[in-house]
Structure 1
Amino acid sequence: MALPARDSELIQIMDAAWADAARRAGSHLACRPGCTQCCHGAFAINALDAARLRAGMDELRAKDPAKAAMVTQRALAWIEQWRAAFPGDSETGTLGSSEADEEGFEEFANDAACPALDPATGRCDVYAWRPMTCRVFGPPVRQESGALACCELCFTSASDEETAACEMPVPHDLEMQIVNELGDDAETVVAYALVKPASASGR
C-alpha cells in the first residue's frame, strides 16, 4: 500500500501544532528524549499509520539495514509473544471488530514495550514515521467526550485554565479524508506494520 502524498501535509500540520503547544506549555510538558511513558501498551493504528510505518521501514532498510533488522527482530518477537491473545487475525495483524475482540483489546499487551523503542537509548527507531497516537501524546488534546486529556506525567502542577490554554488542535478531518482515500478501514498494531514491506499488497 503506497503512502498517500497528502500524508506529508498532515505530518507538517501535526509537527507545527505540537511545537506550538510545547512552546505554550513550557515546563508543564515533561516530554523529553528517553522518556518512554507513551511507548508501552498496544494501541490501534489505522491504514494510514500502517502505510507510513511501512514506508519508513523501507527507507530505514535502505539507509541503515542493521537498525532496520533490529526493529524487525523486536517486532517479530513481540508478535510471537502476543499472538495467542491477539484480538483479531493473528496472521495478518488485523484487529477484530466484534464486541469480544474489542473487549479483549482493552487488556491486551498493556505493559508491553513498543518494538520500535530501542531499549538501550530509550528512543523510537521510527520516530519520523510514528503513528498519530504517538504524535498527539503529551500536550492536552480534546477527546470525543469533550474532555481534555494529556500524558499523566505532564501538567501535574497546572491549573485547569493553564492546561486548557495549551490545548493542541488535531486535524482529524484531514486524517480521515486521507484514510478514506486509501479505501481500507481495517486497524492493526505497530508490530505488524513494522514487519511487512510497503511494497506488499494488503495488510
Structure 2
Amino acid sequence: MNTIAQIHADIDTRVKTIRDGHPDWLCRQGCDGCCRRLAEIPRITAEEWNCLQEGLMALPPAQLREIGREISTLAGQISRPVICPLLDKAKGACLIYAHRPIACRTYGFYVQRDLGLYCKDIETRVSDGMLTEVVWGNDDGIDNRLRALGESRELPEWFAHWQRDTD
C-alpha cells in the first residue's frame, strides 16, 4: 500500500528509531536551519497538499492571510535560499507541523547517498565519526513512492488554486 498515511507512518517509524538511539539528535522544534535555507520552492503532491490544507484551515484568518502573502511572493522569487512561509520565525517552529510535507518530515533523517541531503551540523557530526551507527533512510525510495502518488506542483501554484476556489 502506498498512501500518504503509509508514507507518513514509515517515516515516523524511521525518525523515532533515530531519535530513540540519539536523544541529542539536532532535528527538533527550535532547529529551523533547513526551513530558513530551502534550496528551492517546495514541490508537493496533491495528497500532500490536501494534508497541508487541513493545517492551514486550522490557523487564524489573519495568520493565513500573512502566509498567503508570503507564498504568493515565492512564486516570483529567484533568489536563494528560500525561507519557508510556514515557519514561525520567532519560535523556529512549523505552523502546521502535523500537516507538513514529506520533504520536511525526512530532512535530517533521510539522505540521497551521494548528495548529502542533510544539514551541515549533522554532516559535521558524521565527519567527526559521531553518527557512524545511524542507519539512514533512503530519500530516493521516498521520492519514488511520492512519484507514484501523482504529479507534484510548487506550493504557490497549489495555494493560488485553493485561494481561487475559496474566494
What is the rounded CA distance, in whole Å, between the counterparts of 1:158 and 1:142 in structure 2?
Answer: 15
| Residues in 2 aligned to 1:165 and 1:13: alpha-carbon distance in whole angstroms | 20
Q: Which has the higher contact order (CA 8 A, sep 6+)?
A: 1
- The answer as to 2:162 corresponding to 1:197 is yes
CA 194–36 in structure 1, closer or farther in 2 if over 3 Å, else same: farther
State the SS of the aligned residue for 1:18.
helix
Instruction: Give the TM-score, by structure 1 length.
Output: 0.62
Q: Deviations over 1:106-146 (max 9, x none)?
A: xx442332110112322101212222221122236242x3x
Could you say what secondary structure the match of 2:124 adopts? Answer: coil
Counterpart position of 1:153: 121
Instruction: Decide whether aligned partners of structure 1 residues 15 and 78 sit closer, same or farther in structure 2, where only a CA change above 3 A counts.
Output: same
Segments of structure 2 that go 5 or more residues without pairing to the other structure are none
| Aligned position for 2:19 | 22
Q: How does 1:119-158 map to 2 (within 5 A)?
A: 119-139=89-109, 141-143=111-113, 145=114, 149-154=117-122, 156-158=124-126
CA RMSD of aligned residues (A): 3.4
Relative to structure 1, is the Cα distance of residues 10 and 114 closer, same or farther in structure 2, using a 3 angstrom cutoff? same
Verify the 8 A CA contact 2:18 2:109 in the aligned structure 1. yes
Residue correspondence of structure 1 range 14-53 to structure 2 within 5 A: 14-27=11-24, 29-40=25-36, 41-48=38-45, 50-53=46-49
Residue 166 of structure 1 is matched in structure 2 by 134
Structure 1 residue 75, shift from structure 2 partner: 3.4
Q: Which of 70, 73, 86 is the aligned partner of 2:66?
A: 73
- SS of structure 1 residue aligned to 2:11: helix
- 5+ residue gaps, structure 1, are 86-107
Q: How does 1:100-119 map to 2 (within 5 A)?
A: 108-119=78-89
Separation in structure 1 between the aligned mates of residue 29 and residue 16 of structure 2, nearest angstrom = 15
Whose Rg is larger?
Answer: 1
| 1:162 to partner: Cα distance | 4.0
Aligned positions, number: 164
Identify the range of structure 1 (128-137 vs 166-175) with the bigger mean alpha-carbon deviation.
166-175
Matched, 1:6 2:3: yes
Q: Among all aligned residue pairs of Structure 1 and Structure 2, give the percentage whose two residues are the same amino acid.
A: 18
